[in-house]
């Protein structure tokens, strides 16, 4: 009559969510922005994503094998895929294939697995990969296509593939002919050469409040991000403080000297700020864990981004700002522990 | 005013002594295992570096230069530094023996922290005046200390991570420093004069 | 302490760059190319031998509270002499190595050897210790320099003219033609990461050697 | 030429003077580190460290005369704590000093005990009660398990007994390790 | 007290020995070092002036400022080469202020005729791999100035190709070359209008290659 | 400081407050609330464990073969103000043996096995007549004799709590009826069916501790309960009893959370509600008190919710302690085919039992049987991705993820700084963790380890003191011995002196004599 049962620790509920589900939701949230990217800049980004995911999964599997970890289990968590997609979204659509290779080598092997793999990395892998290729191959990494709408020569699918895989451009086109500066680049350049922002603003790559095309991609990032917020995959702290600090400081700068400072909206809707605020600075692993820590983290990323954009040598500073705050995260976590109940 | 601000920005960020200029790496790697030790070392260095930057400036400007003895700079500077360090060491041993224990062999090694002599030599090279030297020394130490403290907080986390065995310890520490330097590349061009 | 042990300690077991982690600044700063590495390595080795010798000779005369300042004076003297000589005869190389020649003074490895070895040993072993330590450092420098130069530029021994005069130009070896230039290796992050990889490599070699040795003894044990 | 020598010499002498003064001025008198070390030591007072008790060993460590790996009762965790305090690398326990054993207490077989008081004299923490020619007992709660009372006993009536844990002292066990570390897919389930 | 004196004495002794040795070496090497330093500077400057001049090029220099042609209050150094009493050539050291990452310090050698003998970059902070092709070590681009003058090409052609000029830009980087081209043109214009002053101003002490 | 807080706490219940974190869980209570509480018929054997409350096992007061009456004390505790275990029915003690005892360890414990005689005959009952006039001390003694422990889950001896509380000045008694765990409905049924005895218990407790008023906290989803309780309050004529409905968020039934919800104050870390002048008791505990005082019936039965998808007809049962759990399940129609896990307690905090031969114990508020699909799919544990969900839901405002990290790496000081001791083991963190880290298991282990370390340190400290005292004593003895020797020597010396002097005097005298002659 007596019946035996298996025992297990409390609580006795099925798992509410899984790491895989979390990562999957982030990937889903990126879809609108990817679609917008294709719409505005052509299909290059799709090839870049494919390449980067391929390399990332390859490196991930290799490292898991080398570290004697269950390969299937960890490949299934999709974190490497997410890293790859975010990386691909940061590089120019026509970047040669080996950019992805080297970026993923540093992202997955160096920044992730040398630290012990999922959950242990101190730096945001995608951003490590991006910054490595950015400083190593500035030429390839600054070859941005202008939006299809104003491109002098729109590239077809085969042309794009040939450019990525073979470095060949159709006909007698040169890189200089088909690539152009990004809006932030123009702002940075005009500041460097002592011109007024308004002069740069006359370039066709500027849209209504950000870069032409870029502003819409940024919007779609925000939509995806808000969906993630609603799904509680990310918290509001990082995006709000990051965008908030950029808006606030950008506004102050703009009001004091509109000639050499772009409007705060320009800041928010150009470059990597939106993807950074919702998808990159929110990386839980390399960010702060405590609530106050996340507030500081977000604000820090925003402020450093602005400082680099305004005074630094790079047109955009999101990636650097994220890495810099990654550095500070353990220290911040140490000193922003929440007050324990009753203490 | 901006000039001094720029010196600070340059020494702390754009030309961070540890991550960009490669000065002061031995204590950077050596005393970064524990956060407390790192903070202590940073404070000690802040004190020693500022003081020795100023004193070595004085030595250079009022003794070596007038007498045409620039070739003795290295010797003179290192003497000044050694003395400042030694005094700090004795004072610390007296006032905070535990800190003294934690900093262990590294306090005397502040003498041989390249950053200290580096600051003195660079002061001469860049023709700083007294106040500039003070700011330069202070900024260098602040950059050193800030990075050291962050690094040690990171290392405390790495210490218990599942790092591949051959990389445990110094290698992953250096790779982390490398990634920090990578992040600091973002500050290039920041302190353009 | 046999001479053999002094040598293996300096070159491998207690290698300053790879194991003791002292003298890191010049190691990282001046390892952009092999030629710079050799130049600084030789200067450092020379300094180590001379300073160890001098400290060992003076070791009985120095009281504890002035020991460190005294070492420092000795080392600074040696370094300045080398600096002046280099300035006079290897001026171009001197200009490339820049501030890191006077900074040999504060190469922690030098004062470390002075304190740990020379202050307790006779002149001859001290000089040999200096030589071994210096060569160990030189080797690490060259290894790191080679790694960074090959990965970063695809060449070896570029700019050899700085050290060897004009005939040095012919020493340059291009390993990877049309190398696009991997700037990371040449920039500061590459130095850190490169040294990290070298140390990990040394750990790996050491682990393998121990395993082989362990296997050998284990094999013998039952017999 | 002469100015050079003179100036540096004067400088050197001045610094020497200052240092000499400082070394007298800042002389260190006592070492609170000893107390901190002693606090980490397990206070078993067993002497396995080759010092006549924990405090003497603490003093030896503070002096730099002893390594931090000579206390078997403290075990690895003790060594780690010492290493943390002193900012040095942890090293494995020196096997010459013995090995870490589970905690046990001495029990005197009261039927055999002849009341010689020798064990009372040996006990470093006064954990044995008894009077001459009367039966002795060990106060289990105060016994540190140092083994020092065993050798002097002329009739070998003392035995070290491991301290058992009963059901009501049961505490939750250490959970199984994370699967990836074990390298197998196993759920944290134990069959009943 | 005794302790103090003993320390002082010992340290003093070490210092005496060290300094004496150093001073000795200094006297042996001092001459050669000065010579070497001169050689280095001359080597740099020598590429930019004609072989034939007979004055002490290194000493015949002076420093001035001119906000219109050399903005941001930078000090400009001029070295003058003369053949007999005749001006032979001039070397100007000045900054291009509109670089991507700040100032680019240039040396320009200008023949008495007003044509460029050559241009060199002394220091810059441009992005490695992108803007640094202005270094002679990285590419030959800077040699493109040799032989140019205000009339060759005509002044509207003093620009990068993309903007209809005669000079190449680098792939992905136009700011840097533009900055250099503009600064060199301004220097030439200044030379053109202030030739008298440049060759007749009294020599002073200021300025050297490094800073 | 305390006075200020106590005064603040007097406002308890005026306004509701929030506590940090917590979870809104699916309630699942309805399924067991459809039928009234049923009595469980006499079992053929009772297994009464001797370990039924916080502390150590009780000592058996009976021996094999002894005949006992219902309510006779059969085991007595030596810890925490002592207490008793009583016979659930009349019969014969057939054995005192090790038997599964519904303990989280899963190990067997000593149980008194009783074979009922079927008469269910009470021991002679001596209720306290007229409790309203009785000495509070007498009431407390009754509570102790009746073996009452906290029925809210912690099974801490109520007498001890009440005794301590009476010394510290309590103004408000809080009766905890906010049964917050899903599935469990025993308190709800109790409040519906026996509101009078709860009110009675409240008033008795109030008198026993000298409190001025009582707050009964119930969940806002228990509509019927509010009506029945307020009816009972009116009936009793008591004016100092308030009923407060709190929002249903797990774990608002936790003492600290409940106090915070009612007062807005946090019980200081390491402290208890008494620090705020409050005492918190479960509603069932109050009924047990009422029964003990006015009927002299000790704690031998309790309401147990038998529920879950693994049971055919979920319901609440009034069960004697010691009844095998299988009997309860049988009365509820037995298991469904896919019953997979047997849990004592709720799904969040309960522990899984390995067999249904385990007896009902004082802590058994719920028998939950879950099916495969309730607990599926099991997921492997992954590394923590530091998502921070655990910290977001932790009602103690801890950082579970960092706690876990420090426990795994033996960083005990760190764990203690991070507030390991403040974890209430509610399981919220565990529930939300996407990496399925068994956080609570680690915290339970860690808390025990921390206590062990503290005990060790205490022992070491005591050993050090005794060692030093002994050293000092030995030194003193040594010194005294030396002094004694020295004194003896001196004494010897001076004795010699004296002798010499005498000799000399004698000599002199003699010579004087001689001289004189
Ligand atoms: C990180 C980064 C660094 C750059 N560095 C330089 C530089 O040093 N010099 C330069 O002329 N352009 C540099 N650029 C490119 C300019 O921003 C600008 O895009 C370019 O000069 C415009 O030239 P294009 O029309 O050939 O694209 C850099 C761009 C980026 C993104
Ligand atoms: C004086 C006194 C001491 C107490 N000591 C403890 C104790 O050591 N451990 C314990 O779990 N509960 C103790 N309690 C009971 C607590 O107040 C509380 O009711 C108990 O921890 C159960 O609460 P929980 O179910 O919220 O954990 C004590 C109560 C009092 C009045
Ligand atoms: C997470 C958690 C949830 C709890 N939930 C309840 C509850 O729903 N009802 C209850 O009476 N006690 C609950 N308790 C126990 C209370 O904290 C407290 O111990 C009890 O109300 C004290 O009364 P008692 O001593 O009469 O059991 C819970 C404790 C914890 C830690
Ligand atoms: C909200 C969110 C944001 C993420 N952002 C990044 C990211 O910016 N870069 C990245 O490499 N991985 C990101 N990941 C994936 C994952 O956390 C990352 O690969 C880990 O750092 C690997 O240990 C993100 C995951 C989530 C849930
Ligand atoms: S070995 Fe024994 S006596 Fe020595 S420190 Fe450890 S416990 Fe104390
Ligand atoms: S009783 Fe024996 S084992 Fe225990 S402390 Fe005393 S001497 Fe040591
Ligand atoms: S179990 Fe502990 S740590 Fe987890 S949520 Fe509850 S109180 Fe917080
Ligand atoms: S919920 Fe789990 S994965 Fe998230 S931070 Fe907490 S422990 Fe880590
Ligand atoms: S070489 Fe050691 S600090 Fe620089």
**Separation of CA F154 and ligand 2 centre (Å):** 8
By the CB < 8 Å criterion, does A128 face chain B? yes
Claim to verify: residue A188 and residue A113 sit in the same structural domain: no
Rounded to a whole number of angstroms, the distance from the CA of D126 to the nearest CA of chain B is: 33
In a domain, D24, yes or no: no
Chosen domain end from F257, F281, F307: F307
**Res. A171: pLDDT tops 90:** no
Rounded to a whole number of angstroms, the distance from the CA of B192 to the nearest CA of chain E is: 6
Q: Which residue has the tokens 């500073």?
A: A317
Residue length of chain B: 193
Domain limits at C157?
Answer: 3-220
Percent of chain C with pLDDT over 90: 28
* Strand ranges, E, within F151-212: 172-177
* Strand ranges, E, within A151-302: none
Q: Does the distance separating the beta carbons of A135 and C184 come in below 8 Å?
A: yes
Percent of chain F with pLDDT over 90: 65
| pLDDT number for residue A162 | 87
* Strand F108-116 to F83-86 pairing: unpaired
Claim to verify: residue D158 and residue D116 sit in the same structural domain: yes
| pLDDT number for residue D189 | 34
D17 pLDDT band, cuts 50/70/90, is low
**Res. D188: pLDDT tops 50:** no
F and E adjacent (3 or more CB pairs under 8 angstroms) = no
**Res. F118: pLDDT tops 70:** yes
Question: For the whole model, what pTM was predicted?
Answer: 0.88
Structure tokens at C64: 């504890």
Claim to verify: residue A40 and residue A112 sit in the same structural domain: yes
The domain total for chain C is: 1
Among the ranges given (A182-196, C18-32, F44-58, F142-156), the one the predictor scored with the smallest mean pLDDT: A182-196
Report the pLDDT averaged over residues F6-25: 90
**Res. C106: pLDDT tops 80:** no
Chain D interface disruption, residue of F155, F439, F467, most D CBs within 10 A: F467
Torsion of CA D139, D141, D146, D151, to 10 degrees: 20
Report the pLDDT averaged over residues A278-296: 94
In a domain, D65, yes or no: yes
Structure tokens at B56: 């070595």
Across the A:B interface, residue pairs with CB atoms under 8 Å apart total: 93
Q: Is F281 in the pocket of ligand 3 (CB under 6 A)?
A: yes
Which of the 8 DSSP states describes residue A206?
Answer: B
Measured CA distances, F315 to F311, F324, F416 (Å) = 9, 17, 42
Whole-angstrom distance, CA of residue A292 vs CA of residue A332: 9
By the CB < 8 Å criterion, does C222 face chain A? no
**Res. F500: pLDDT tops 90:** no
pLDDT in tens, F382-437: 999 999 999 999 999 999 999 999 999 888 989 999 999 999 999 999 999 999 99
Among the ranges given (B109-123, C45-59, D37-51, F385-399), the one the predictor scored with the smallest mean pLDDT: B109-123
E112 pLDDT band, cuts 50/70/90, is confident
Claim to verify: residue A195 and residue A282 sit in the same structural domain: yes
B103 pLDDT band, cuts 50/70/90, is low
In a domain, F494, yes or no: yes
Determine whether F337 is exposed, middle or buried from the number of CB atoms within 10 Å of its CB (0-12, 13-18, 19+). Answer: exposed
The domain total for chain A is: 2
Report the pLDDT averaged over residues A142-159: 79
Rounded to a whole number of angstroms, the distance from the CA of C69 to the nearest CA of chain D is: 9
Domain limits at D117?
Answer: 102-164
Q: Is C24 in the pocket of ligand 9 (CB under 6 A)?
A: yes
Q: Which residue has the tokens 């360890």?
A: F105
**Res. E207: pLDDT tops 70:** no
| pLDDT number for residue D23 | 56
| pLDDT number for residue E210 | 52
In a domain, F374, yes or no: no
pLDDT in tens, E71-90: 888 889 998 888 888 888 89
Q: Which residue has the tokens 């992202």?
A: A107
| pLDDT number for residue B153 | 95
**F419: which chain A residues are within 8 Å (Cβ-Cβ)?**
340-341, 343
Across the C:E interface, residue pairs with CB atoms under 8 Å apart total: 60
| pLDDT number for residue A270 | 82
By the CB < 8 Å criterion, does F338 face chain A? no
Chosen domain end from A155, A172, A194: A155
Helix (H) or strand (E) holding A179: none
D4 pLDDT band, cuts 50/70/90, is low
* Pick from D97, D80, D118, D110: nearest CA to D44: D97
D16 pLDDT band, cuts 50/70/90, is low
Rounded to a whole number of angstroms, the distance from the CA of B160 to the nearest CA of chain E is: 37
Long-range contacts, F271-276 (Cβ 8 Å, 24+): F271/A342, F273/F174, F274/F164, F274/F165, F274/F168, F274/F170, F275/F2, F275/F5, F276/F5, F276/F6, F276/F8, F276/F9
**D27: which chain E residues are within 8 Å (Cβ-Cβ)?**
none
Largest CA distance in chain A: 90
Whole-angstrom distance, CA of residue A144 vs CA of residue F225: 68
Whole-angstrom distance, CA of residue F191 vs CA of residue C46: 91
**B59: which chain D residues are within 8 Å (Cβ-Cβ)?**
11
Report the pLDDT averaged over residues A203-213: 73
**Res. B136: pLDDT tops 90:** yes
Of D11, D23, D84, the CB nearest to B90: D23
| pLDDT number for residue B176 | 97
If you write DSSP's letter for every residue of A11-71 in order, what string do you get?
P-S--S--HHHHHHHHHHHHHHHHHHHHHHH-THHHHHHHHHHHHHHHHHHHHHHHTT--H
The domain total for chain D is: 2
| pLDDT number for residue D20 | 61
In a domain, D124, yes or no: yes
Identify the chains in contact with E, defined as 3+ C-beta pairs within 8 A: A, B, C, D
Q: Does the distance separating the beta carbons of C73 and D20 come in below 8 Å?
A: no
Closest residue to atom 22 of ligand 3, CA basis: F281
**Separation of CA A283 and ligand 9 centre (Å):** 35
Report the pLDDT averaged over residues B68-92: 80
pLDDT in tens, F206-233: 999 999 999 999 998 887 899 999 999 9
Residue of chain E nearest B82, judged by CA positions: E11
| pLDDT number for residue C218 | 53
E2 pLDDT band, cuts 50/70/90, is low
Please check whether residue A205 is in contact with residue A269, taking contact to mean a CB–CB distance below 8 angstroms. no
| pLDDT number for residue D181 | 43
**Res. E6: pLDDT tops 80:** no
**Res. D151: pLDDT tops 50:** yes
Whole-angstrom distance, CA of residue A15 vs CA of residue F378: 7
Of A102, A110, A135, the CB nearest to C187: A135
Residue F397's domain is classified under what CATH number? 1.10.1060
Report the pLDDT averaged over residues F118-136: 90
Chain A interface disruption, residue of C181, C185, C187, C189, most A CBs within 10 A: C189
D101 pLDDT band, cuts 50/70/90, is confident
Please check whether residue F276 is in contact with residue F256, taking contact to mean a CB–CB distance below 8 angstroms. no
Claim to verify: residue A113 and residue A256 sit in the same structural domain: no
* Pick from C73, C101, C108: nearest CA to C87: C101
b/e B68-92 (16+ beta carbons within 10 angstroms → b): ebebbbbbbbbbbbbbbbbbbbbeb
Phi-psi region of F271 (alpha: psi -120 to 50; beta: other; left: phi over 0): beta
Structure tokens at F324: 């095998």
| pLDDT number for residue F201 | 94
Nearest listed ligand to the Cα of residue E96: 1
How far from the centroid of its chain's Cα atoms is residue F431's Cα? Answer: 24
Report the pLDDT averaged over residues A165-180: 77
| pLDDT number for residue A307 | 93
pLDDT in tens, A36-61: 999 988 889 999 999 999 999 999 99
**Separation of CA F211 and ligand 7 centre (Å):** 31
Mutate to test the pocket of ligand 3, among F154, F248, F283, F396 (most ligand atoms within 8 A of CB): F154
**Res. F54: pLDDT tops 80:** no
Q: Is F280 in the pocket of ligand 3 (CB under 6 A)?
A: yes
| pLDDT number for residue D128 | 86
Percent of chain C with pLDDT over 70: 93
Claim to verify: residue F286 and residue F435 sit in the same structural domain: no
pLDDT in tens, F367-379: 999 998 888 777 8
Please check whether residue C145 is in contact with residue C36, taking contact to mean a CB–CB distance below 8 angstroms. yes
Rounded to a whole number of angstroms, the distance from the CA of D125 to the nearest CA of chain B is: 30
Beta bridge partners of D161: D105
Report the pLDDT averaged over residues B8-12: 90
Closest residue to atom 4 of ligand 6, CA basis: D143
Across the B:C interface, residue pairs with CB atoms under 8 Å apart total: 147
pLDDT, greater one: B111 or F248: F248
pLDDT, greater one: E12 or C133: C133
Q: Is E126 in the pocket of ligand 1 (CB under 6 A)?
A: yes
Q: Does the distance separating the beta carbons of B71 and E22 come in below 8 Å?
A: yes
How far from the centroid of its chain's Cα atoms is residue B66's Cα? Answer: 29
| pLDDT number for residue D136 | 78
Rounded to a whole number of angstroms, the distance from the CA of A123 to the nearest CA of chain F is: 13
Measured CA distances, B193 to B3, E101, E105, F464 (Å) = 8, 10, 13, 65
In a domain, D11, yes or no: no
**Res. F485: pLDDT tops 80:** yes
* Pick from C160, C34, C189: nearest CA to C92: C160
Q: Does the distance separating the beta carbons of A74 and D180 come in below 8 Å?
A: yes
Chain B interface disruption, residue of A286, A326, A327, A328, most B CBs within 10 A: A327
Please check whether residue E95 is in contact with residue E167, taking contact to mean a CB–CB distance below 8 angstroms. no
| pLDDT number for residue D13 | 66
Q: Does the distance separating the beta carbons of C193 and A110 come in below 8 Å?
A: yes
Domain limits at F13?
Answer: 2-307
Claim to verify: residue A109 and residue A240 sit in the same structural domain: no
* Strand ranges, E, within D55-136: 104-108, 128-129
By the CB < 8 Å criterion, does C70 face chain E? yes
**Res. D130: pLDDT tops 80:** no
Beta bridge partners of F91: F68, F116
Domain ranges of chain E: 1-48, 61-210
Segment 118-177 of chain B within 8 Å of chain C by CB? 118, 121-122, 125, 165-167, 170-175, 177
Residue D109's domain is classified under what CATH number? 3.30.70.20
Contacts of C206 (CB under 8 A, 6+ apart): none
Nearest listed ligand to the Cα of residue F415: 7
Nearest listed ligand to the Cα of residue D129: 6
Segment 53-112 of chain A within 8 Å of chain C by CB? 102, 110
Claim to verify: residue A148 and residue A185 sit in the same structural domain: no
B98 pLDDT band, cuts 50/70/90, is low
Q: Does the distance separating the beta carbons of F434 and A19 come in below 8 Å?
A: yes
Q: Which atom of ligand 4 is nearest to the CA of A118?
A: 23
A24 pLDDT band, cuts 50/70/90, is very high
Please check whether residue E68 is in contact with residue E97, taking contact to mean a CB–CB distance below 8 angstroms. no
* Pick from A210, A213, A221: nearest CA to A278: A221
Within 10 angstroms of residue C201's Cβ, the number of other Cβ atoms is 15
Chosen domain end from D97, D117, D143: D97
Closest residue to atom 12 of ligand 2, CA basis: F156
Please check whether residue D45 is in contact with residue D23, taking contact to mean a CB–CB distance below 8 angstroms. no
Structure tokens at E139: 């590419």
Q: Does the distance separating the beta carbons of C87 and E36 come in below 8 Å?
A: yes
Claim to verify: residue F53 and residue F160 sit in the same structural domain: yes
Among the ranges given (B125-129, C152-156, E50-54, F459-463), the one the predictor scored with the smallest mean pLDDT: E50-54
Whole-angstrom distance, CA of residue A98 vs CA of residue A82: 19
Q: CA angle at residue D185 from D183 to D189, to 5 degrees? A: 120
b/e C60-98 (16+ beta carbons within 10 angstroms → b): eebbebbbbbbbbbbbbbbbbbbbbbbbbebbbbbebbe
Q: Which atom of ligand 9 is nearest to the CA of C26?
A: 1
**B180: which chain A residues are within 8 Å (Cβ-Cβ)?**
327
| pLDDT number for residue D12 | 66
Backbone angles phi, psi at E82, to 5 degrees: -130, 150
Rounded to a whole number of angstroms, the distance from the CA of C9 to the nearest CA of chain B is: 19
Q: Is F431 in the pocket of ligand 3 (CB under 6 A)?
A: no
Q: Which atom of ligand 7 is nearest to the CA of F439?
A: 4
Domain limits at A38?
Answer: 18-155
Report the pLDDT averaged over residues F497-517: 63
Of C76, C188, C191, the CB nearest to B78: C76
How many Å is the Cα radius of gyration of chain D?
Answer: 27
Claim to verify: residue D113 and residue D68 sit in the same structural domain: no
Chosen domain end from A155, A188, A223: A155
| pLDDT number for residue B40 | 79
**Res. F344: pLDDT tops 70:** yes
pLDDT, greater one: D15 or F343: F343
A22 preceded by a cis bond (ω within 30 of 0): no
């Amino acid at each position: 009559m007596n019946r035996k049962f298996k025992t297990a620790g409390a609580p006795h509920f099925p798992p509410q969510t899984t790491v895989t589900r979390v990562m999957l939701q982030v990937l889903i949230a990126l879809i609108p922005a990817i679609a917008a990217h294709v719409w505005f800049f052509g299909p290059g980004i799709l090839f870049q994503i494919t390449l980067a995911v391929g390399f990332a999964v390859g490196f991930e599997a290799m490292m898991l094998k080398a570290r004697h970890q269950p390969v299937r289990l960890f490949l299934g968590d999709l974190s490497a895929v997410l890293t790859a997609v975010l990386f691909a979204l940061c590089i120019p659509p026509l970047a040669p294939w080996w950019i992805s290779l080297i970026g993923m080598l540093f992202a997955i092997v160096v920044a992730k697995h040398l630290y012990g793999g999922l959950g242990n990395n101190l730096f945001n892998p995608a951003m490590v990969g991006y910054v490595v290729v950015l400083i190593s191959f500035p030429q390839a990494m600054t070859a941005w296509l202008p939006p299809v709408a104003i491109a002098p020569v729109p590239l077809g699918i085969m042309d794009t593939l040939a450019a990525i895989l073979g470095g060949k451009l159709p006909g007698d086109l040169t890189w200089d002919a088909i690539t152009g500066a990004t809006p932030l680049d123009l702002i940075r350049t005009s500041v460097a050469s002592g011109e007024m922002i308004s002069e740069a603003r006359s370039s066709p790559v500027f849209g209504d409040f950000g870069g032409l095309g870029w502003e819409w991609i940024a919007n779609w990032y925000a939509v995806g991000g808000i969906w993630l917020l609603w799904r509680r995959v990310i918290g509001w702290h990082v995006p709000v403080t990051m965008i908030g600090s950029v808006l606030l400081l950008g506004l102050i700068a703009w009001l004091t000297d509109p000639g050499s400072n772009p409007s705060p909206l320009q800041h928010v809707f150009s470059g990597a700020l939106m993807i950074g605020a919702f998808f990159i600075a929110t990386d839980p692993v390399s960010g702060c864990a405590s609530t106050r820590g996340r507030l500081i983290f977000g604000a820090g990323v925003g402020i450093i981004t602005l400082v680099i954009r305004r005074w630094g040598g790079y047109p955009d500073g999101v990636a650097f700002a994220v890495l810099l705050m990654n550095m500070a995260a353990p220290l911040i976590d140490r000193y922003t522990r929440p007050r324990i109940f009753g203490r | 005013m901006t000039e001094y601000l720029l010196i600070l920005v340059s020494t702390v960020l754009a030309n961070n002594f540890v991550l960009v200029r490669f000065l002061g790496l031995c204590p950077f790697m050596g005393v970064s295992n524990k956060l407390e030790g790192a903070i202590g070392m940073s404070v000690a260095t802040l004190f020693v570096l500022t003081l020795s930057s100023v004193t070595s400036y004085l030595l250079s400007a009022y003794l070596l230069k007038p007498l045409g003895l620039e070739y003795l700079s290295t010797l003179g500077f290192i003497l000044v530094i050694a003395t400042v360090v030694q005094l700090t060491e004795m004072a610390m041993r007296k006032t905070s023996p535990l800190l003294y224990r934690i900093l262990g062999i590294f306090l005397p090694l502040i003498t041989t922290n390249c950053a200290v002599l580096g600051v003195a030599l660079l002061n001469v090279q860049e023709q700083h005046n007294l106040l500039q030297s003070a700011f330069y020394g202070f900024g260098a130490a602040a950059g050193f200390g800030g990075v050291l403290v962050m690094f040690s907080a990171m290392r405390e986390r790495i210490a218990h991570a599942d790092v591949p065995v051959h990389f445990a310890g110094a290698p992953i520490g250096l790779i982390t420093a490398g990634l920090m330097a990578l992040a600091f590349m973002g500050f290039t061009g920041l302190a353009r004069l | 302490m046999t001479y053999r042990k002094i040598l293996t300690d300096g070159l491998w077991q207690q290698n300053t760059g790879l194991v003791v982690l002292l003298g890191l600044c010049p190691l990282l700063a001046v390892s952009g190319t092999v030629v710079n590495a050799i130049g600084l390595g030789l200067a450092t080795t020379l300094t180590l031998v001379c300073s160890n010798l001098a400290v060992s000779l003076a070791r009985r005369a120095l009281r504890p509270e002035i020991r460190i300042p005294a070492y420092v004076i000795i080392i600074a003297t040696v370094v300045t002499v080398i600096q002046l000589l280099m300035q006079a005869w290897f001026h171009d190389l001197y200009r490339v190595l820049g501030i890191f020649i006077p900074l040999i003074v504060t190469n922690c490895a030098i004062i470390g050897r002075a304190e740990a070895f020379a202050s307790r040993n006779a002149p001859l072993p001290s000089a040999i210790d200096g030589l071994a330590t210096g060569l160990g450092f030189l080797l690490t420098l060259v290894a790191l320099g080679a790694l960074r130069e090959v990965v970063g530029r695809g060449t070896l021994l570029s700019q050899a003219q700085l050290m060897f005069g004009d005939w040095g130009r012919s020493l340059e070896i291009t390993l990877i033609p049309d190398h696009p230039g991997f700037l990371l290796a040449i920039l500061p992050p590459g130095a850190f990461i490169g040294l990290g990889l070298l140390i990990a490599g040394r750990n790996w070699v050491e682990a393998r050697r121990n395993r082989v040795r362990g296997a050998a003894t284990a094999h013998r044990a039952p017999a | 030429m002469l100015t050079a020598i003179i100036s540096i010499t004067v400088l050197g002498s001045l610094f020497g003077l200052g240092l000499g003064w400082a070394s007298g001025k800042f002389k260190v008198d006592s070492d609170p580190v000893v107390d901190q070390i002693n606090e980490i030591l397990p206070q078993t007072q067993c002497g396995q460290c080759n010092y006549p008790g924990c405090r003497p060993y603490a003093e030896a460590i503070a002096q730099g005369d002893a390594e931090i790996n000579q206390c078997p009762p403290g075990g690895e965790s003790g060594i780690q704590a010492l290493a943390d305090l002193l900012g040095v690398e942890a090293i494995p326990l020196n096997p010459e000093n013995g090995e870490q054993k589970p905690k046990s207490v001495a029990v005197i077989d009261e039927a055999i005990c002849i009341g010689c008081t020798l064990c009372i004299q040996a006990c470093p923490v006064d954990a044995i009660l008894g009077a001459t020619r009367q039966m002795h007992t060990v106060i289990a709660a105060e016994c540190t398990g140092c083994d020092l009372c065993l050798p002097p006993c002329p009739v070998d009536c003392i035995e070290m007994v491991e301290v058992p844990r009963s059901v009501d002292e049961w505490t939750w066990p250490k959970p199984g390790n994370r699967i990836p570390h074990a390298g197998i897919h196993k759920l944290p389930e134990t069959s009943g | 007290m005794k302790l103090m004196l003993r320390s002082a004495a010992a340290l003093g002794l070490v210092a005496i020995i060290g300094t004496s040795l150093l001073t000795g070496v200094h006297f042996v090497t001092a001459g050669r070092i000065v010579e070497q330093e001169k050689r280095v500077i001359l080597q740099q400057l020598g590429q930019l002036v004609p072989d034939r001049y007979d004055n002490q090029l290194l000493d015949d220099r002076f420093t001035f400022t001119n906000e219109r042609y050399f903005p941001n209050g930078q000090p400009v150094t001029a070295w003058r080469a003369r053949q007999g009493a005749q001006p032979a050539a001039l070397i100007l050291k000045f900054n291009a202020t509109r670089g991507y990452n700040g100032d680019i310090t240039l040396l320009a050698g200008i023949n008495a005729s007003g044509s460029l003998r050559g241009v060199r970059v002394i220091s810059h902070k441009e992005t490695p791999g992108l803007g640094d092709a202005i270094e002679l070590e990285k590419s030959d681009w800077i040699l493109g100035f040799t032989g140019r003058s205000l009339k060759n090409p005509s002044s509207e052609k003093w620009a990068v190709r993309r903007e209809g000029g005669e000079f190449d830009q680098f792939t992905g980087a136009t700011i840097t070359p533009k900055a250099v081209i503009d600064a060199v043109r301004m220097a030439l214009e200044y030379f053109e209008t202030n030739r008298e002053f440049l060759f007749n101003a009294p020599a002073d002490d200021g300025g050297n290659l490094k800073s | 400081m305390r006075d200020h807080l106590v005064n603040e706490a007097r406002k308890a219940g005026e306004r509701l407050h929030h506590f940090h974190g917590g979870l809104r869980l699916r309630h699942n209570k309805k399924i067991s609330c459809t039928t009234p509480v049923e009595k469980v018929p006499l079992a053929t054997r009772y297994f009464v464990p001797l370990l039924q409350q916080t502390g150590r096992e009780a000592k058996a007061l009976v021996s094999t073969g002894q005949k006992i009456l219902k309510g006779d004390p059969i085991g007595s505790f030596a810890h925490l103000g002592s207490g008793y275990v009583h016979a659930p029915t009349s019969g014969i003690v057939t054995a005192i043996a090790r038997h599964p005892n519904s303990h989280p360890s899963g190990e067997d414990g000593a149980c008194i096995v009783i074979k009922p005689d079927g008469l269910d005959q009470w021991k002679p009952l001596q209720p306290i007549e007229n409790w309203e006039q009785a000495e509070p001390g007498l009431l407390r003694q009754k509570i102790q004799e009746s073996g009452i422990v906290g029925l809210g889950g912690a099974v801490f001896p109520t007498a001890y709590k009440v005794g301590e509380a009476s010394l510290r000045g309590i103004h408000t008694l809080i009766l905890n009826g906010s049964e917050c765990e899903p599935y469990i409905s025993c308190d709800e049924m109790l409040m519906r069916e026996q509101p009078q005895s709860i009110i009675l218990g409240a008033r008795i407790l109030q008198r026993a501790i000298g409190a001025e008023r009582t707050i009964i906290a119930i969940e806002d989803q228990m509509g019927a309960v509010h009506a029945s309780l307020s009816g009972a309050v009116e009936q009793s004529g008591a004016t100092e009893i308030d009923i407060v409905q709190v929002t249903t968020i797990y774990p608002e039934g936790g003492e600290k959370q409940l106090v915070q919800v009612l007062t807005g104050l946090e019980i200081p870390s390491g402290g208890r509600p008494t620090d705020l002048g409050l005492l918190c008791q479960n509603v069932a505990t109050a009924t047990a008190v009422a029964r003990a005082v006015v009927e002299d019936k000790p704690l031998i039965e309790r309401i147990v919710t038998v529920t879950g998808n693994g049971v055919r007809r979920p319901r609440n049962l009034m069960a004697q302690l010691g009844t095998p759990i299988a009997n309860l399940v049988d009365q509820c129609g037995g298991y469904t085919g896919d019953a997979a896990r047997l849990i004592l307690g709720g799904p969040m905090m309960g522990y899984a039992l390995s067999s249904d031969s385990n007896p009902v114990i004082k802590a058994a508020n719920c028998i939950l049987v879950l099916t495969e699909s309730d607990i599926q799919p099991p997921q492997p544990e992954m590394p923590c991705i530091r998502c921070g969900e655990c910290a977001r839901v932790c009602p103690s405002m801890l950082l579970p993820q960092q706690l876990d990290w420090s426990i795994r790496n033996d960083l005990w000081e760190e764990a203690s700084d991070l507030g390991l001791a403040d974890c209430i083991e509610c399981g919220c963190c565990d529930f939300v963790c996407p990496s399925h880290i068994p956080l609570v298991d680690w915290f339970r282990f860690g808390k025990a380890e921390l206590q062990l370390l503290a005990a060790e340190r205490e022992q070491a400290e005591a050993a050090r003191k005794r060692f030093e005292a002994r050293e000092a004593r030995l030194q003193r003895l040594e010194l005294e011995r030396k002094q004694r020797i020295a004194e003896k020597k001196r004494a010897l010396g001076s004795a010699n002196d004296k002798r010499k002097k005498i000799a000399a005097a004698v000599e002199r005298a003699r010579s004087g004599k001689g001289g004189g002659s």
